[in-house]
Amino acid sequence: MFRNSNQMKNKFESIVSFLVRRRKLLFYLTISLMVVTTFFSTLPSFDGKLVGFDLNENVFAQTLKRIESLFGTQNRLYIKITPANDNLQEVFSGLQELEKKLVEKFPEAKIISLHKFYYLLFPGEEKSSIQLSGFIREASSYPILNDLISNDTKSFLVVMVRDSLTNFDIHAFNSITGYRYTGIKQIKAISLFHIEDTIQQYIRKDFIVLSCAITIFFLLFFFFTFRSFSALLFNTAVIGISVFSSLFFFSIFNFHLNIITILVIPVVLVLSLSDSVHLLSGYAHFKHLTNQNERLINVVKLYILPSFFSSATTSVAFLSFYFFNDSEFIREFGLITGLSLMVEFFLTFFTAPYLLEKVNVSKINKKEINGFSNFLERNRKPFSLFFLLIFISSFYFVRKLEFKSDTNMFFPKNSELNKTHEELNRDFYSHIKLDILIEPKNNISNEDENYKLRTYVSSLTKLFRNTKNVVRVNSATDNHSIRLIPGSTINFLNHLGKRNPYYNKENNLYRIEIKVNNAESVKEIAYKILPSLIHKYPEYKISFTSVVLIMDYVNMRVSRSLINSLLTSGFFIAFMIFLLTRSIPITFASLLPNLVPLSIITYIYLLLGFEINILTAITAVVCLGILDDDTIHILYRRLWLKKPLDELPFSIFSTSVLLTIGFGMFCLSNFRPTQVLGGVSALVFFFGMICELTLTPWLIDLWIRRNENK
């Protein structure tokens, strides 16, 4: 049943023999190729942009872009002003100085500021006769101006509107807002450019911290375990190969190190060390062989085939992100990681035979590891039954998991940006927003039809104001004018940027802005109220959008891509195991030790209150692609070679420690999704190790005894 043809065996042994006997030539050819390739490669740059999460088919994202373009609501920089006192004249003097510097540096910008409305609200009165608090109290009675005033009336916003943030000098802007101004206690600013600039800074920090922490831990682990500087150098070489493989594909595809692809190098780094552990363990195991060629042939023969199968399955798991995910960032992450793992495998086995003969491993420190392995071996059955119970019960709890994504999750924790964002949400009416775009399906040619459209918009505005959980509605049909003298009025909307934010005259389009106090109300209006209005008034086209709806669509696509990736990875792993065992029952039974740890993800998320988002959703696929490594090695040793496990439990335990702590290092990240991905993966790999040393051997023994009884 577990047969392999003589022809295949001879071909395999000739490949192993070639790798060993030509090891010096292969080593120098590989190093030369790496050096030449590195010379012509370019290092990736850091990129804090979030556009890689856009989904091309997301109609809500497309509608948002159209609304921002039509009404000039994009490219806004919000500046929070906290006055030092209640002296209106002094505060406005500092405010004018700030705005003057901004306009001098950014002449194309439009400034929206409260002080510009002073003479509209208090015509003919000197500033010295009115306190700032009195002015703010009067201004807050106008809904449009009230959006610029904080809830406690102790601060207000200045808004800078630009046609584009391209080539925007963020450092010059921060220098201007960081200056001390008369009557102003504190200035804080936030914009899309601030967000992306801060993310870029923290990506760079994460890259340095994670890569250094993982590398240092690995080197200490290998030195403590193998007690050999030569073994340490061997692992340093493998680390170098993994870094080279990753950077090579960054250069080939001209990808940047963004909030997702920054994980490529740490992930490849962690995974590459499993080959290193197996090779060093095998080399130490065959130390009784005095003939160096024979020793190396035995080591390579023992590990190259299962390592290839393992690298291939892990690579396919990551490549599935490229084929099934809609996010550009995650597709880049999957493509580079998948290809890097395969290149790392080949380069490692091209150089390892030559490097191994330089290694002097006299003793492996594995007393505690062997003791733990023996404990698990004695208790295989109870552990196996417990894990099977966990796996079966998870089908009930998995339904309770929730998908929730929002762009705020990518704000670096403890950053000044995050604090400013929280302040603005707290101090200003930063309710969840729903934008509605109303436009006639046909061109309107007379005043009566224009009046009819405006009346329709007005009726919708009143309808939404009376809708449950709606806290504010802004519309062009509201009265935004103030009477200065009899017969003279001024519309506030003409002072709120270069374009009316609620009416586009060129295209005769209206925008209604609805603010609600919870996300479910957005869905209620979008999916229940608006469809009936669209059906009732077919002569008008109604489009709507909200960050809630955009991320809800993202969640739907993420869940779909997750299922596709899991099915693809699972099928390929099963196929590889079938090639190894030539047995369908064993193939399905061997998947259990990989699926059981995945089921534990369900309990971790529920117990710790985690939610599945666009990044943490990839945890299951990443873990599935990695967990099969130990399964393949055990199956290859027991069923293909029909040999005892010998040093394999030590290798499995060591690689599991590396995976657990290596991915656990992701908790040092400044981004919460990365922390969750790393922490959950670390726990999965820990339980996966226990499954591999209990459930897998237990199932194999059951199978062997069953066939022996026949």
Write the pLDDT tens digit of every residue in 634-686. Answer: 888 887 878 887 778 888 888 888 889 988 999 999 988 888 888 888 988 88
CATH number of 6-40+227-400+551-709: 1.20.1640.10
Residue of 569 and 173 predicted with greater confidence: 173
The residue with tokens 């779909």 is 560
C-alpha dihedral sign at 155, 157, 158, 160: positive
Query: Token pair of 163, please?
Result: 């046609």
Tell whether the model's pLDDT for residue 369 goes beyond 60: yes
**Between these two residues, 613 and 223, which has the higher pLDDT value?**
223
Q: Write down the pLDDT at residue 572.
A: 85
For 129-167, give the DSSP string. GS-HHHHHHHHTTSHHHHTTB-TTSS-EEEEEE-S--TT
Choose between 360 and 350: higher pLDDT.
Answer: 350
Residue 486 has pLDDT above 60, yes or no: no
Written as six digits, the tokens of 147 are 């959006």
More confident residue, 32 or 122: 32
Q: Are 111 and 158 in contact (CB under 8 A)?
A: yes
Q: What is the pLDDT of residue 249?
A: 95
Q: Are strands 156-161 and 110-112 parallel, antiparallel or unpaired?
A: antiparallel
* pLDDT greater than 50 at residue 190: yes
Structure tokens at 583: 């047995």
Q: What is the pLDDT of residue 672?
A: 85
Task: Return the CATH fold of 73-195.
Answer: Alpha-Beta Plaits (3.30.70)
User: Cα separation of 693 and 88, whole Å?
Assistant: 74
Inter-axis angle of helices 229-253 and 328-356, nearest 10: 140
CA–CA distance, 568 with 139 (Å, rounded to integer): 60
How large is the angle between the packed helices 672-709 and 584-608, nearest 10 degrees?
A: 150
Place of tokens 């998908």: 403
Distances (CA, A) of 56 to 111, 192, 584: 33, 20, 41
User: Is it true that domain 429-549 has CATH number 3.30.70.100?
Assistant: yes
Average pLDDT over residues 591-597: 84
Q: Give whichever of 1-10, 220-229, 295-304, 353-362 has the largest mean pLDDT.
A: 295-304
Phi, psi of 339 (to 5 degrees): -70, -40
Q: Which residue has the higher pLDDT, 497 or 221?
A: 221
Mean local confidence (pLDDT), 104-128: 78
Per-residue pLDDT averaged across 136-149, rounded? 82
Task: Place 495 in a pLDDT band, splitting at 50, 70 and 90.
Answer: low
Q: Report whether 469 contacts 90 (CB < 8 A).
A: no
Judge whether 564 and 320 are in contact, CB under 8 Å: yes
Give me the residues paired with residue 160 across strands. Answer: 77, 111
Please report which helix (H) or strand (E) contains residue 624, including its range: helix 619-635
- pLDDT score for 497: 54
Q: Compute the average pLDDT of residues 99-104.
A: 92
Query: What DSSP designation does 43 have?
Result: P
Whole-number Å distance between alpha carbons of 244 and 238 = 10
- Distance between CA atoms of 410 and 266, rounded to whole angstroms? 19
The size of the chain, in residues, is 710
Residue 5: the pLDDT is: 57
Query: What is the C-alpha radius of gyration for the chain, rounded to an integer number of angstroms?
Result: 32
Q: Categorize the per-residue pLDDT at 2 as very low, low, confident or very high, splitting at 50, 70 and 90.
A: very low
Whether residue 50 contacts residue 407, with contact meaning beta carbons closer than 8 Å, is answered with yes
* pLDDT band at residue 429 under the 50/70/90 scheme: low
pLDDT mean across residues, the chain: 84
**Six-digit token pair at 340?**
């890097």
Domain chopping of the chain, boundaries: 6-40+227-400+551-709, 73-195, 429-549
Answer whether 6-40+227-400+551-709 and 429-549 agree in fold.
no
pLDDT in the model for residue 556: 76
pLDDT tens, position by position, 231-284: 888 988 998 999 999 999 999 999 999 988 998 988 888 888 888 888 988 888
Whether the predicted pLDDT of 27 surpasses 90: yes
Vertex 618 angle, CA 595 and 402, to 5°:
85
Q: Does residue 511 register a pLDDT over 60?
A: yes
Q: Which residues, at least 6 apart from 11, have a Cβ–Cβ distance to it below 8 Å?
A: none
Question: Quick check: 1 pLDDT over 50?
Answer: no
pLDDT band at 98 (very low <50, low <70, confident <90, very high): very high
pLDDT number for residue 518: 80
